Amino acid sequence: MQRVVLITGGTSGIGLALAEAFLSEGSAVAVCGRSQTALDRFALTHPDALAIRADVTRAEHRAAMLQAVADRFGRLDVLVNNAGTFVARDFTAGEDSEIQTLEEEVALNLTAPLLLTGETLRRWRGLDAIVFVTSGLAFVSPARAPSYGAVKAGLHGFAEGLRRQLAPHGTHVLELAPPTTATPMTAGQSGKMLTPAEVAAVTLKALRNRKRVALPGTAKWLPTLLRIAPNAVGNAVSRL
């Protein structure tokens, strides 16, 4: 039976690479995004997939998106919570204008995937897998973006607890924690980065093997380094 996959933020970066990887394996794929231009481009390139315009921070958009998946495919097997944003913040600056954008960051990176996961499970209790895209920065928060580290750490904690909760039901919960990847979000940054396709390949392998965490590239060394040299890791990340 063909697997049905929904990927939030699936029109660019890691989300797009995941969509293309699932499609190449024969899965039926739905993606959502906020840019109609990006959705149209995706639909033109991948006419067999479903492209849905949705802002996952809005309840009515999430409901309409899940209904669109049900109408097109009749079910859902894999939910990939990928949509997110990176915002650098200096909390010592004391800018009042930061409050609204901080709320928006938390809503997109943390609240929305929690709510969407709950809404999806209420509709399809027999999901095969749920994927949460976090970051290596969920384990060591960067000095230039502590709120990003905080929300990704929150998503990491939710994935761990949900994994235990869903274990009796057979639903696989996978956390994908990539290092810096060459996406539109990291445009302008220097240094060696993984490609989104490389991250997607590691993710699908981890799904097949029902791993708890997928750590592509240099991220695979992070748990070991945090055990043997936590101060060194923290000092390195503090300079990011």
Q: Is 72 a catalytic residue?
A: no
Fill in the DSSP letter of residue 115.
H
Question: What sign for the dihedral angle of Cα 42, 43, 47, 50?
Answer: positive
Q: What separation in angstroms does the CA of 141 have from each of 100, 136, 152, 169?
A: 21, 9, 9, 33
Q: Which of 22, 124, 148, 158 is catalytic?
A: 148
- For 44, 85, 157, 194, the CA distances from 104, given in Å and listed in that order, are 30, 10, 20, 27
Q: What's the CA gap between 101 and 231, in Å, rounded?
A: 31
**Neighbour count for residue 17 (Cβ, 10 Å):** 23
Backbone torsions φ then ψ of 28, nearest 5 degrees: -85, 130
- Three-state DSSP at 130 gives strand
Amino acid identity for residue 7 in this structure: I
Cα–Cα distances (Å) from 236 to 132, 137, 194, 198, 223, in that order, read 25, 12, 19, 24, 15
Residue positions annotated with a catalytic role: 148
